[in-house]
Structure 1
Amino acid sequence: MSAANSAGGGPARRPDLAVPRLAGRARDLSLFGQALDGRSGLVAVAGEAGIGKTRLLHELLARRPESALVAVCPPFREPYTLGPVVDAVRRLAGSVAGLPLTGLAGALRPLFPEWAGQLPPAPEPLADDSAARHRLLRALAELVDALGVGLFVVEDAHWADETTLELLLFLRSRWEHGPRLVLTYRPEDVPARSLLRRMVAQAGTTRLEPAPLDPAATADLISSMLGGEPVSAEFAEFLHARTDGLPLAVEECVRLLYDRADLVHEDGTWLRREVAELDVPPGIREAVLERTSRLRPAAAGALAALAVLEGERSPGLVAEVAAMPAADVEQGLAEALSGGLLAEDRDGRVGFRHVLAARSVYHALGALERGRLHHRAGLALEREPVLRSAELARHFKEAADPGRWAVHARRAADDAIASGDPRTAFGLLLDLLVGGAVRGAAVAPVVQRMPLYAAPGDGPLRELVAVLRATAEGELTREERTAATWQLARLMFHVGDSEAAAAAMEQAVPGLVQDRPVAAVHAMMMLARPLGTPRPAAQHRAWLERAGRLFATCSGAPQERLSFLAERAATLLVLGDPAGWDAARDLPAGGDSPGEVFQRARGYANIGEAAMLWGRYDDARHLLDAAAALAEEHRHLRLRDLVAGTLAHLDWLTGRWAGLEPWAAAALESDEPVLRADALQIGGLLAAARGDHARMREQTRAAAATGRPRGPADGFRDPSAALARLALADDRPADALAATDAAWRLIEAKGLWLWAAEIAPLRVDALLRAGRAAEAAAAAESFGAGTRGLGAPTATAAGLLTAALLTRDRGEPAPAAALFDEAAAAWQALPRPYDALLAREAAADCRNTDGSALRALLPDLTALGATGDADRIRRRAGGRPGRPGYGDRLSPRELDVVRLLAQGRTSAQIARVLGLSPRTVDKHVQTAMRKRAAPSRTALAIAAVASGDIPAP
């Protein structure tokens, strides 16, 4: 059938297409409004691309009286910090003059340089990124309140930078006093470790998931584009089948049929041509590209420029980027607007109606054309009154203009650091170096300004190592080679290549002493740290003394002096030198500048961790608590969280297990690899104590692969001790020896026997079980001689335990039992109750009693949480079997409790339903939270539904 004629031979009427109305969404819109009226903590609209999330949102906003701040996250590879929010504020407010802002708002100057004259003075810089970020978020919240924002909306939140998501979390924490929060996102595109996952899983979130349209709603949408006249059921079902009811796909197909003149009007109903004659692309991209291919050159050129620019832009800017006359571009934009590809905002700017259309046009461009458009876009945006450095860096990177890329990437990184977003800064600068935009002598200064701790794992750091190694081997002056080698050594220490790092550091020291003495002191202190290399302790001590002599000649700020003295004290303690305690006590008092406060907190943390190596747990807790308090008070949040990880290990050692599982579950969501490694190891230790050895083995190995490499200097954080203990529990002495071989060789080479306190008893036990008694005795003698007179409680307890093991192996049960009792008392005095109980078990075994001594351990083991050990001892002692064990599965009673919990019932209500006491209900909840690693009751309900334990309420 000809498109010009109807089926009956009469003339066909070409439709006038309109923007479709919202079809099939009455229920979603009603629920959306109800959630906002009920002041839900957060309304999240989730769904795949093209499902209609944005349309639903805009329909709601048109009906709401509140002032809305709408931030749209662009699909940049490297999102710029808080960019969507900053752009939204700029659109909403022409200025901030006259707003009731406090001095806190001065922190907003880096984000809004054009308002510098209207904002309060900038506050003093903060030493900690997390503290700077928190201050900035509070200032933004104050500005949002002052602007009278009623709804805070973030579209395409799956592309949001982490700081924007942190702002949402901060606003949510005060939702009763601030704007209501709404976001749209695509679940399948949310990064695995994004804060967005945590946010939408919290209690108080209303989640809406618009479903695909059914055939009736599809017909309604099509009709709304065709003047409201009906469409045939056959036509609607045909398009529904081809598009799966995805609204954007339906609209694009209708517009494509319109462009092809494939729609006919007959007897008051819109029809299509015969199926055999009609081919509709199933994908949105294919439909968009076929439609754009039918546009005139002016419209196609304007669309290409807009696709490269992204977002809404003025016609003048589009013309400049397209390198076309303004009149031609305006005609082209009008054609694209009438065809429904573009939309126009109230300021006359134009942009694609959907990001999928923009991406389709962009990826259809050839590489050379894309590069030319990016270059023109960058040059045009450089002349804008407000520069967005991250966007400019992206354009010049794609345009292969390394000079301009480097300039703007550095500025963007500085902006990100000033905003407390070191991860984005790291990514921007890494791109520069790996992409070759910075070469030769310019590489080392870029690496020096990089926040290496913000690297997402070792992979990017190893890329940097390769860049720096190639740089250091290139043609450089002596000063330039020293700088490159110094940065290379620092990086290799970060990734655990300690021996190569030490060699590079020694190579850099002479030049640093000559050019940069303070940096030379830092290099010497890194060489003084006895980590990772088999070099004798005397060499590290020599570097420590040399660093002290050089530092005495340097004129440094008070914070640098405090940093050096605290690091010296911690290094002495890790070297097993009791002089470290005097050095720690002699740290200078006072000093309240931000730098001094940070260095004091960091020093307390490092000395506290060294105190754990010695087994001086009261001193360790005192120092770590002081570090945590300073970090919390002065908002050094990253340091606070790292100290919390160290305290978690101290809690494990000292038997404070009750809060460890919720802490570990929360820490696993952290972006900090060290924290995730700590959480994995703590979770594995708890699992082993409950008898789940497979999980312990899995999590310990995962911990070793997640954080920086751990060794015997890290004490109980060394995975070799945990793996050896597990191997011995499973009676696999060869595996225990393999687990401790590397650590033992390192300790022998360095002569630092304090480090062996965790593994010496395990290694001696493994050697004895393997029939290598002489080697076991030699190992015990080396350990004893190396720690004799040291005054380290862990070494004392471990020495008693090794002596007991050797005595038992010689067939002397009574003396062995006495030594095990002494070891138990020494462990308990630390206190390390778990180790004390295991030593008491060994003593009872030596005495070979009727089982009563073993059964006497059960209450303490159970109260501690070592239920796996309790079950093992109960079986050995021939006691009454316990109740059936469910491992990590929820018991029937726990399932009953969680099912009622998910229905929103309180403990008292659950107790009444099940005939239990509220206290018993709370115990079941705590046990279920531990099994599901849930930090809260709400998270438990969500996890139980997700795992299939209970049906969705």
Structure 2
Amino acid sequence: MSAGAGGETPTRRPGLGVPRLVGRDGDLSLLDHGLDERPGLVVVAGEAGIGKTRLLDELLRRRPETALVAQCPPFREPYTLGPVVDGVRRLAENVAGLPLTGLAGALRPLFPEWAGQLPPAPEPLPDAGAARHRLLRALVELVDALGVRLFVVEDAHWADETTLELLLFLRSRRDRGPRLLLTYRPEDVPPRSLLRRMVAQADVTRLEPAPLDTAGTADLVSSMLGGEPVSVEFAAFLRRHTDGLPLAIEESVRLLHARADLVCEDGSWLRRDVAELEVPPSIRDAVLERTSRLGPAAGAVLSALAVLEGERPPALVAEVAGLPTDAAEAGLVEAVAAGLLHEHGDARVGFRHVLAARSVYHALGALERGRLHRRAGEALEREPVRRVADLARHFREARDPERWAVYAEQAADHASASGDPRTAFGLLLDLLVGGAVRGAAVSRLVLRMPLYAAPGDGELRRIVGALRESAAGGLTREERAEATWQLARLMFHVGDVEEASVEMERALPGLVEDRPAAAVHAMLMLARPLGTAHPAAHHRAWLERAGRLVEAPPGPSPEEWLAFLVDRASTLLVLGDPAGWAAARELPVGGRTPGEVLQRARGLANLGEAAMLWGRYDEARRQLDAAAALAQEHQHLRLRDLVGATLAHLDWLTGHWSRTRAWHAPALDASEPVLRADASLLAGLLDAARGDHRGARERIGSAGAAGRLRGPADGTRDPAAVRARLAQAAGDPAETLAATDAAWQLVEAKGLWLWAAEIAPLRVRALLEEGRAREAAAAAAAFAEGTRALDAPAATVAHRLTAALLARADGDLLGAAGLFAQAGAAWTALPRPYDALLAREAAAGCRLAAGERDRAAGELREVFAELTALGADGDADRVRRTLAGAGVRVGGRAGRPGYGDRLSPRELDVVRLLVEGRTSAQIARVLGLSPRTVEKHVHSAMRKREAPSRTALAVAAVESGDVPPPRSGPGIAPRAG
């Protein structure tokens, strides 16, 4: 249509304004109520373009309190605490006169421009977790001193891990700090982000703005058109093709305006030829078409801002765009008028929506992107406060490896100092795989990498590839020795122990001459009897060589000496040498330096694990509890978490299954692969005891794939041994033998028969069931001879079990019953109650087969009751069936009756996860149940606790002590007490 004369109604094109907030009065009231009257966190969740930022802007405009707003930009490498730092800078020009303690000195790396106003920097801490904790406490002190009453994090799905930990820290203070409000996109939250745990808790006020309906769409468009009405047909059309997403509506209207397709007829705004022309299917198309209609200067500043990311001052935009100041300002004015950019109160400009920024960025050609990134990096180098992570990104995209490496290493140092080793690892890994460092610099960079922060073996294997390529290049003798040493060290980490040993022996001559401390470390790694078929004497020889070298002049530092003593004691014990106990008793107590404290804690943890291998569970608990306490006191958080995993397994062995369940459920979502693997293993063991063998096999399979390689030296934590146990319970001797073949061959080659304590009874029984009695007798004899001189309770009980199995196979049923009973008594004394009950069941089974029905029935009744009380429902069911076959009744299916008003073990599992804020679907995934079964357990628990709702059930369960309260901080805490 066009404007006409005569009888036609004239048409005119509209002028467009910024839309007002429509349809959100109820949302604003809910937010006000949540901030003023309810405790806990307030979150606004929704997809991109739903209007979270617009809603937040309106809320902040209405509220009187001091607010700190941390805006998280979509940086490819999140800048550690960058959003919070920027928010503080926007809030305060300086910190002079604020009531800060000496703790605030830890903030100097974050605010170098305030160095003269902050207290002196404190002494560095050796542990990344401790450094992070101190930095967070200092930030909280600064926030309090600034009088912040509302702490806002916008686009929290892009927040770095340390910023999220700061939020957890603030949450744990309850009423002593500012209220917390954050916005985020649920679909963009990484799977293992701390944000998921934070927003899932019970005291969260959650708002999810809904898409606009047709009336709301009409109101939004009308607000862009000076308040004039729009046709119902046009509003319905927009609603239908944008799903009511405010951003999509706004961008579509602007596109229609740019095409001159939006006109006013008969006093109502509508669109030309609605039936023929559709709104573009994506916002990107709309944005790019709009930018194509702008002048060259506007296009240049949009490209510059897309590369810079975030909000920037006009002068910087002009420099990156390569425009004179007046031309850049004119381009910015045009882009602001077009609704693509908006101005901030601090004289900065930025894209109104990140989707628009990404659309412009991805439309740039590779050469143009590189050119703009170089300009951005060079301009930002001249800034008084350098954001080194930003500089690293720009010079990486500009293909300037030298400057990329300089700034990436600085950014990694900053992340490590802030207690964020994962970001540091990622920055340095990018340098390696991106080819920014070569030759001898590769091994130097690897030496700096926090390898323990690697998300998995895949990343470590990429480093192995880079080191292998470096070691093959033109290096000096010293450089090649260093590169080979680092290569071997990484190969040990990823489980390539055989090849790593070869590489390490190649590196040793150069290390002995140039770096004796590293040579001692290498020898101690070669002394570890893991992953190779070398006999025990081979490893002992390396241990003795390390001892001679560490005592040679000039001698080790106190920390190096303690590390050697710790490794020597634990290595002797893993070698099955009782001298390791004497070496453990001779370890010095305490430590003067942080490094010595760390070695002491590590030593206690290693000795605790060795004691578990020997079957000395009381000793293991003393060592592990001491290690956990020391790690917690000195904030060695990763070591604390690993010790917590070992204690959880010890709890399973010793019958404290409720503590095991309390640990493993949250650990299944841990970011540390080793913790996830241990949690999967424990979940599989618990599932098997309940009778869910299919679920148990899946759990054990994932345990073997998720964590570090484990083997027979890990005893009950070896996934292969657990698979053999499951196969035997399923009556599959062939699978039992297949699962134990590799471990048995390794034990024979090394002569380390202590390692066979878990698999010897399984293997002997499987051989007997396969009709290979001679091999079974030979295996039992070799195991007995190899452990005869050891005071190892686990091996002693295993020997009795193999003897009982042989006696039963020979037809000596009563003799076998006596040996099974002795094994059960020995397991009880350790204590290891679950295996004691299985041994007692076997003894009673022999007596039943020998005709001692009454005595066997009495023993089986006791075993049934104790298995039921322990939570081993599947095993108790098997005993019930045995009794039923003998004509003895013991009630219904195990585990179901008898709880009364008490929550069953499975109900406790469900309620514990419910308290953590999990949905039924999430609980079902963790526990391997169907959502319907989870709901049945929830309703049963609600009935027992007389709770009218899930929230009331969670509160009642915590108040009654049924389950612990939800954790408020990061990490997997060790079992206490």
**Residue number in structure 1 paired with 2:964:** none
Residues 1:854 and 2:846 aligned together: no
Which letter maps to 1:936? V
**Residue number in structure 2 paired with 1:428:** 427
1:407-418 counterparts in 2 under 5 A? 407-418=406-417
Give the secondary structure class of the aligned counterpart of 2:285.
helix
The superposition leaves residues 667-695 of structure 1 with CA deviations (integer Å, 9 ceiling, x where unpaired) of 11211111111111111101111111111
Once residues 404 and 5 of structure 2 are traced to their aligned partners in structure 1, the CA distance between those partners, rounded to angstroms, is: 58
Once residues 639 and 8 of structure 1 are traced to their aligned partners in structure 2, the CA distance between those partners, rounded to angstroms, is: 85
Give the secondary structure class of the aligned counterpart of 1:176.
helix
Q: Percent identity?
A: 71
Provide closer, same or farther for how the CA distance between residues 630 and 300 of structure 1 changes in structure 2, counting only shifts above 3 A.
same
Once residues 367 and 485 of structure 1 are traced to their aligned partners in structure 2, the CA distance between those partners, rounded to angstroms, is: 37
Which letter maps to 1:666? P
**Residue number in structure 2 paired with 1:518:** 517
**Residue number in structure 2 paired with 1:654:** 654
**TM-fit CA distance, 1:585:** 0.7
Which letter maps to 2:87? A
Give the secondary structure class of the aligned counterpart of 1:541.
helix
The superposition leaves residues 781-837 of structure 1 with CA deviations (integer Å, 9 ceiling, x where unpaired) of 111111111111111111111111111111111111111111112211111111111
Residues 1:867 and 2:867 aligned together: no
The superposition leaves residues 718-746 of structure 1 with CA deviations (integer Å, 9 ceiling, x where unpaired) of 01111111111111000000000111111
Residues 1:545 and 2:554 aligned together: no
Give the secondary structure class of the aligned counterpart of 1:681.
helix
**TM-fit CA distance, 1:109:** 1.3
Which letter maps to 1:552? E
CA contact (8 A) 2:877 2:894 kept: no
Once residues 663 and 705 of structure 1 are traced to their aligned partners in structure 2, the CA distance between those partners, rounded to angstroms, is: 20
Give the secondary structure class of the aligned counterpart of 2:658.
coil
CA contact (8 A) 1:662 1:934 kept: no
Q: Which of these residues, 906, 914, 920, is aligned with residue 927 of structure 1?
A: 906
Once residues 422 and 198 of structure 1 are traced to their aligned partners in structure 2, the CA distance between those partners, rounded to angstroms, is: 20
Once residues 24 and 477 of structure 1 are traced to their aligned partners in structure 2, the CA distance between those partners, rounded to angstroms, is: 71
1:743-782 counterparts in 2 under 5 A? 743-782=743-782
CA contact (8 A) 2:42 2:181 kept: yes
CA contact (8 A) 1:73 1:156 kept: yes
Provide closer, same or farther for how the CA distance between residues 559 and 359 of structure 1 changes in structure 2, counting only shifts above 3 A.
same
**TM-fit CA distance, 1:935:** 6.8
Once residues 923 and 839 of structure 2 are traced to their aligned partners in structure 1, the CA distance between those partners, rounded to angstroms, is: 38
Which letter maps to 2:698? E
Provide closer, same or farther for how the CA distance between residues 375 and 756 of structure 1 changes in structure 2, counting only shifts above 3 A.
same
Once residues 536 and 920 of structure 1 are traced to their aligned partners in structure 2, the CA distance between those partners, rounded to angstroms, is: 56
Give the secondary structure class of the aligned counterpart of 1:154.
strand
1:322-721 counterparts in 2 under 5 A? 322-553=321-552, 554-721=554-721
Give the secondary structure class of the aligned counterpart of 1:774.
helix
Once residues 315 and 6 of structure 1 are traced to their aligned partners in structure 2, the CA distance between those partners, rounded to angstroms, is: 47
Once residues 154 and 945 of structure 1 are traced to their aligned partners in structure 2, the CA distance between those partners, rounded to angstroms, is: 31
CA contact (8 A) 2:874 2:894 kept: no
Once residues 770 and 277 of structure 1 are traced to their aligned partners in structure 2, the CA distance between those partners, rounded to angstroms, is: 77
Once residues 767 and 684 of structure 1 are traced to their aligned partners in structure 2, the CA distance between those partners, rounded to angstroms, is: 25
Provide closer, same or farther for how the CA distance between residues 350 and 373 of structure 1 changes in structure 2, counting only shifts above 3 A.
same
Q: Which of these residues, 857, 875, 889, is aligned with residue 880 of structure 1?
A: 889
Once residues 873 and 920 of structure 1 are traced to their aligned partners in structure 2, the CA distance between those partners, rounded to angstroms, is: 22
Once residues 510 and 14 of structure 1 are traced to their aligned partners in structure 2, the CA distance between those partners, rounded to angstroms, is: 83
Once residues 352 and 5 of structure 1 are traced to their aligned partners in structure 2, the CA distance between those partners, rounded to angstroms, is: 39
The superposition leaves residues 848-871 of structure 1 with CA deviations (integer Å, 9 ceiling, x where unpaired) of 132232122112111222121111
Give the secondary structure class of the aligned counterpart of 1:183.
strand
CA contact (8 A) 2:868 2:894 kept: no
**Residue number in structure 2 paired with 1:301:** 300
CA contact (8 A) 1:7 1:266 kept: no
Which letter maps to 1:929? L
Which letter maps to 2:99? P
**Residue number in structure 1 paired with 2:218:** 219
**Residue number in structure 2 paired with 1:152:** 151
Which letter maps to 2:190? P
Which deviates more, 74-83 or 392-401? 74-83
**Residue number in structure 1 paired with 2:174:** 175
**TM-fit CA distance, 1:61:** 0.8
Once residues 657 and 574 of structure 1 are traced to their aligned partners in structure 2, the CA distance between those partners, rounded to angstroms, is: 27
Which letter maps to 1:880? R
Scaled by the length of structure 1, the TM-score of the pair is: 0.94
**TM-fit CA distance, 1:945:** 10
Which letter maps to 2:906? T
**Residue number in structure 1 paired with 2:915:** 936
Which deviates more, 121-130 or 933-942? 933-942
Which letter maps to 1:774? R
CA contact (8 A) 1:932 1:943 kept: no
**Residue number in structure 1 paired with 2:958:** none
**TM-fit CA distance, 1:310:** 0.6
Once residues 728 and 195 of structure 1 are traced to their aligned partners in structure 2, the CA distance between those partners, rounded to angstroms, is: 40
Once residues 214 and 246 of structure 1 are traced to their aligned partners in structure 2, the CA distance between those partners, rounded to angstroms, is: 9
CA contact (8 A) 1:14 1:263 kept: yes
**Residue number in structure 2 paired with 1:236:** 235
Give the secondary structure class of the aligned counterpart of 2:47.
coil
Provide closer, same or farther for how the CA distance between residues 171 and 942 of structure 1 changes in structure 2, counting only shifts above 3 A.
farther
**TM-fit CA distance, 1:537:** 0.7
**TM-fit CA distance, 1:927:** 3.3
Once residues 698 and 768 of structure 1 are traced to their aligned partners in structure 2, the CA distance between those partners, rounded to angstroms, is: 27
Once residues 834 and 893 of structure 2 are traced to their aligned partners in structure 1, the CA distance between those partners, rounded to angstroms, is: 24
Which letter maps to 1:434? V
Which deviates more, 4-13 or 580-589? 4-13
The superposition leaves residues 277-298 of structure 1 with CA deviations (integer Å, 9 ceiling, x where unpaired) of 5342121111011000000000
CA contact (8 A) 1:852 1:877 kept: no
CA contact (8 A) 1:617 1:831 kept: yes
Scaled by the length of structure 2, the TM-score of the pair is: 0.92
Provide closer, same or farther for how the CA distance between residues 945 and 503 of structure 1 changes in structure 2, counting only shifts above 3 A.
closer
**TM-fit CA distance, 1:593:** 2.0
Provide closer, same or farther for how the CA distance between residues 819 and 72 of structure 1 changes in structure 2, counting only shifts above 3 A.
same
Give the secondary structure class of the aligned counterpart of 2:95.
coil
**TM-fit CA distance, 1:276:** 4.1
Once residues 597 and 209 of structure 1 are traced to their aligned partners in structure 2, the CA distance between those partners, rounded to angstroms, is: 48
Provide closer, same or farther for how the CA distance between residues 937 and 470 of structure 1 changes in structure 2, counting only shifts above 3 A.
closer
Which letter maps to 2:864? L
**TM-fit CA distance, 1:929:** 3.4
**TM-fit CA distance, 1:142:** 1.1
Give the secondary structure class of the aligned counterpart of 1:70.
strand
The superposition leaves residues 136-182 of structure 1 with CA deviations (integer Å, 9 ceiling, x where unpaired) of 11111111111111111111111111111111111111131111111
Once residues 54 and 557 of structure 1 are traced to their aligned partners in structure 2, the CA distance between those partners, rounded to angstroms, is: 56
CA contact (8 A) 2:517 2:560 kept: no
Provide closer, same or farther for how the CA distance between residues 138 and 882 of structure 1 changes in structure 2, counting only shifts above 3 A.
farther
CA contact (8 A) 2:128 2:416 kept: yes
1:800-811 counterparts in 2 under 5 A? 800-811=800-811
The superposition leaves residues 872-893 of structure 1 with CA deviations (integer Å, 9 ceiling, x where unpaired) of 101111143644579xxxx9x9
Once residues 224 and 664 of structure 2 are traced to their aligned partners in structure 1, the CA distance between those partners, rounded to angstroms, is: 54
CA contact (8 A) 1:929 1:936 kept: no
**Residue number in structure 2 paired with 1:40:** 39
CA contact (8 A) 1:929 1:940 kept: no
Provide closer, same or farther for how the CA distance between residues 8 and 596 of structure 1 changes in structure 2, counting only shifts above 3 A.
farther
1:14-413 counterparts in 2 under 5 A? 14-413=13-412
Which letter maps to 1:626? A
**TM-fit CA distance, 1:657:** 0.9
The superposition leaves residues 43-80 of structure 1 with CA deviations (integer Å, 9 ceiling, x where unpaired) of 11111111111111111111111111111111122212
Provide closer, same or farther for how the CA distance between residues 404 and 480 of structure 1 changes in structure 2, counting only shifts above 3 A.
same
**Residue number in structure 1 paired with 2:728:** 728
